[in-house]
Amino acid sequence: MVVLRCTRKLLRYVGTPQTVSEPSTTILGDWFAQSVSIGHQRFVLLISKRSRLPVLMSGRDLKNLTRNFPDALAQVLDALDVPSAAVTSEVEASREAVISVTNNRSLLGTLNDFSFLLAYELRQKPDTSLLDAALWLSRTPVGPLGSRMPDQVTRDLLGLGA
C-alpha cells in the first residue's frame, strides 16, 4: 500500500483525502504530489518521501491518479536501470493507494524547487517527454538528502548501489 499525499490545490481535482495512520509499505515510502501548470499545460509532480525521486504525470486524468501512478513509477524505475524484480515489487505494492494530505514541509519545499526547475526546463525544451523531465530532475542534488541525487538514493534504497 502506498500513500499519495497531495497538496490542497491538487486535492480539489483528485478527491477527498483519507486519514492515514499507517505509513506506506513500499520501499520508497509515501509520495508527495502537487499540481504544476506551465503555460497551458498541467502536470502532476510526485516525489518519494525517502529518496525524493520525481515522477511526472499528465494533469489530465486526475480522478484516476491512484490507478495511473504505478505505471508512471514503473517507467521511471525502468529508465534508472532498476532490475525488473525490484520494479515489479515496488509497482505492485503501489497498486493499492490511498489519497491523503501533505504532512511534511521539507518535502513540500523540494516539490516547489522541482516545480521551478521543471518550468524552466520545459520552457527551454518544450518537446521534452515527461519521463525525460523526471529523469533530469532525478539528477538534481537535494539538500535534505545531504546534496545527494534522488536517482542515487533510489538505487541505494533498492539495494543496487550507485
pLDDT in tens, 60-103: 999 999 999 999 999 999 999 999 999 999 999 999 999 999 99
Grid coordinates given for 151: 536517482
Domain boundaries, the chain: 2-157
pTM as predicted: 0.95
pLDDT for 21 equals 84
In which element (H, E) is residue 89 found? helix 84-94
Q: How many CB atoms are located within 10 Å of the residue 56 CB?
A: 26
Q: Write the pLDDT tens digit of every residue in 123-155.
A: 999 999 999 999 999 999 999 999 999 999 999
Helices 150-157 and 130-138, interaxial angle, to 10°?
80
Closest CA to 3 of 114, 102, 87: 102
Q: Which class does domain 2-157 fall in? A: alpha beta
| Cβ atoms of residues 60 and 33 within 8 Å | no
